[in-house]
């Protein structure tokens, strides 16, 4: 197939390498002409994947027109920038399969990526798929074994994406639960910030295991309230993605929480890093969405309070531990 990848960050570049290795005709787009010029000269995305060679067969461009002739469009633009990017560049996605690898809930609208793309580009449900799961770009680009989930309401599209991306080092399962896949990939970033706070406060493995477990319960409660299948959250886009994001040295969201707990402000962290931690934005969106849906999410609430209401991390943790006792399944 002809595949256009929108967004040349680490994840977009890594997945462009995956499909290029499967002999698809791949175009990788970035909005910055300077970024593309540097990548063309060195055949390396030095800002995100240093040392990983980009094959000459992959076309690198900042021209929107050169992305138009594609069978499949992979959206790897951070969630909060999808709407403005599509409004500015008017990408041609009509009658094309659109695969999102962006994880987040849009601020203000509380929309998932599939819903954003439906609003701004008219992408119908039957042409959309979400590709999600425990998959850091740094490892995928170096062909370390990885498994992910392709979710689409169209079984044919889910299986098409599965075939296009599957490699010996990149195993793809398929599902029809788009809501569950998108929510699992979005809310886990918020829980990962809390896991980073645990690391920053030096609270140990017991605490982190508790946050991962109870965080999964919160994700599941919200997902079911929005129509997702409960078992999805026991799979790759739920438990799998949550574990890797809470534990990995590559996790930007975990790192944000750790730095917050050590005394840095959100403004300082934003100035010091060029990569987007989706969980910062999603913590606000998920908190508001949970209130709208009447779903209790105490960990999400405390992350929101630490990030946006400047609650001390130690106080937030104490408040979680001294909440009213409850049964495990509620």
> Which residue is listed with tokens 């599957």?
166
> Which residue is listed with tokens 């029809």?
176
Closest of 216, 221, 210, 213 to residue 237, by C-alpha: 216
Strand partners, 73: 4, 98
Catalytic residue among 2, 94, 125, 188: 188
Q: In Å, how far from its chain's centre is CA 214?
A: 20
Phi (first) and psi of residue 128, to 5 degrees? -110, 145
Tokens of 301: 């609430």
**b/e for 244-274, b at 16 or more Cβ within 10 A?**
bbbbbeebbbbbbbbbbbeeeebeebeeeee
Separation between Cα atoms, residue 132 and residue 230, nearest integer Å: 16
DSSP 3-state of 52: coil
Contact present, 307 and 266 (Cβ < 8 Å): yes
Q: What angle do CA 171, 177, 181 make, to 5 degrees?
A: 60
Strand partners, 44: 53
The dihedral of CA 317, 322, 324, 326: what is its sign? positive
Contact present, 3 and 97 (Cβ < 8 Å): no
Neighbours of 115 (CB within 10 A): 18
Tokens of 20: 């290029």
The pairing of strands 146-151 and 128-132 is antiparallel
Q: Is 188 a catalytic residue?
A: yes
Tokens of 147: 């498994």
Provide the annotated active-site residues: 188
């Amino acid at each position: 197939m002809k595949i256009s990848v929108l967004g040349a960050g680490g994840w977009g570049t890594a997945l462009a390498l995956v499909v290029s290795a499967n002999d698809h005709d791949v175009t990788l787009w970035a909005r910055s002409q300077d970024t593309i010029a540097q990548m063309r000269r060195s055949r390396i995305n030095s800002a995100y994947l240093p040392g990983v060679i980009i094959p000459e067969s992959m076309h690198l461009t900042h021209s929107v027109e050169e992305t138009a002739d594609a069978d499949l469009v992979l959206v790897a633009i951070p969630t909060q920038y999808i709407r403005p990017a599509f409004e500015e560049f008017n990408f041609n996605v009509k009658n094309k399969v659109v695969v999102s690898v962006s994880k987040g809930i849009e601020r203000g609208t509380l929309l998932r990526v599939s819903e954003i793309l439906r609003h701004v580009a008219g992408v119908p449900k039957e042409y959309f798929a979400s590709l999600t799961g425990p998959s850091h770009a740094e490892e995928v680009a170096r062909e370390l074994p990885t498994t992910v989930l392709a979710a689409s309401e169209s079984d044919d599209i889910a299986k098409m994406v599965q075939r296009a991306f599957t490699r010996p080092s990149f195993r793809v399962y398929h599902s029809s639960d788009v809501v569950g896949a998108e929510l699992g990939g979005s809310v886990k970033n918020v829980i990962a910030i809390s896991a980073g706070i645990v690391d920053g406060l030096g609270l140990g493995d017991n605490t982190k295991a508790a946050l991962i477990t109870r965080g999964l319960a919160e994700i599941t409660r919200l997902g079911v309230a929005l129509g997702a299948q409960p078992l999805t959250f026991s799979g790759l886009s739920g438990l799998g993605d949550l574990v890797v994001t809470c534990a990995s040295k590559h996790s930007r969201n975990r790192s944000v929480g750790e730095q917050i707990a050590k005394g840095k402000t959100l403004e300082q962290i934003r100035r010091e890093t060029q990569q987007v931690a989706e969980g910062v934005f999603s913590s606000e969106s998920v908190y508001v969405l949970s209130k709208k849906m009447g779903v209790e999410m105490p960990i999400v609430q405390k992350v929101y309070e630490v990030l946006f209401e400047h609650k001390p991390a130690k106080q937030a943790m104490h408040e979680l531990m001294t909440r009213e006792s409850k049964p495990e399944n509620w």
